[in-house]
Amino acid sequence: MPRSFRYRVIDVFTEHHLEGNPLAVFPDASGIDDVTMQRIARELNLSETTFVLPPATSECAARVRIFMPKNEMRFAGHPTIGTSFVLIDEGIVPKGCDTFLLEEKIGPVPVRVEAGIIWLTTPPINDGRVFDSALCAQALGLDPSDLLGPAPQLLSAGNPNLFIALRDRAAVDKANLELSGVPEFGVVEDPATGRDRTARRLHDAK
């Protein structure tokens, strides 16, 4: 017999309805298999969808799995913050509890609540490959002089992101990522943040 699973859609990083980063949260995802989780995330087609499960260890308040439309993530910031809000609002994390851990693919992620604001501690950031500045400028439709040192580099706190420093705001406004041949995970851009998901995948295509 088909089962029903309740979910909530919330807005993160905003004080106003229908703004910020949207997130779908399944507060009780027990019984949903991996394939179905991915299919649900693809169907909802938000930047991320999270599924809350019982933790493997008693030190964590819950286990959280984070899915983009085409893949699962080891860690992500706005899904962690948004899921924490839902856990507190639903009483899964008791109101008044100002520190707790969420079990994610990358490991336990510390969360704290201060004056009603939810904060997280980012997992350790690892340095990755350094890229050719001229190549990155070309991919962004810019001149090499639009870039600012240091050299473009992959940094990862569980999910690799390619950081390219630009000279000024005008260079940012002028940037236009060339998408042909660049893999992406079903989300070209995060609403509200303007973070281009595809840019970080340049290393897969070059």
Q: What is the DSSP string of 105-170?
A: TTEEEEEEEETTEEEEPPPPPEEEEE--HHHHHHHTT--GGGB-SSPPEEEESSSEEEE--BSSHH
Give the closest residue to 63 by CA, choosing from 21, 103, 34: 103
Alpha helices in the chain (DSSP H): 34-44, 77-89, 133-139, 169-174, 202-205
Q: Which of 19, 43, 48, 72 is catalytic?
A: 48
Contact between residue 72 and residue 65 where contact means Cβ atoms under 8 Å apart: yes
Element housing 156 (H / E): strand 153-156
User: Is the previous residue joined to 2 through a cis bond, with omega within 30 degrees of 0?
Assistant: no
* Residue 48 is among the residues annotated as catalytic for this protein: yes
Q: How far apart are CA 119 and CA 111, in angstroms?
A: 6
Where residue 47 falls (left for φ over 0; alpha for ψ -120 to 50; beta otherwise) is: alpha
Query: What are the residue numbers of the active site?
Result: 48
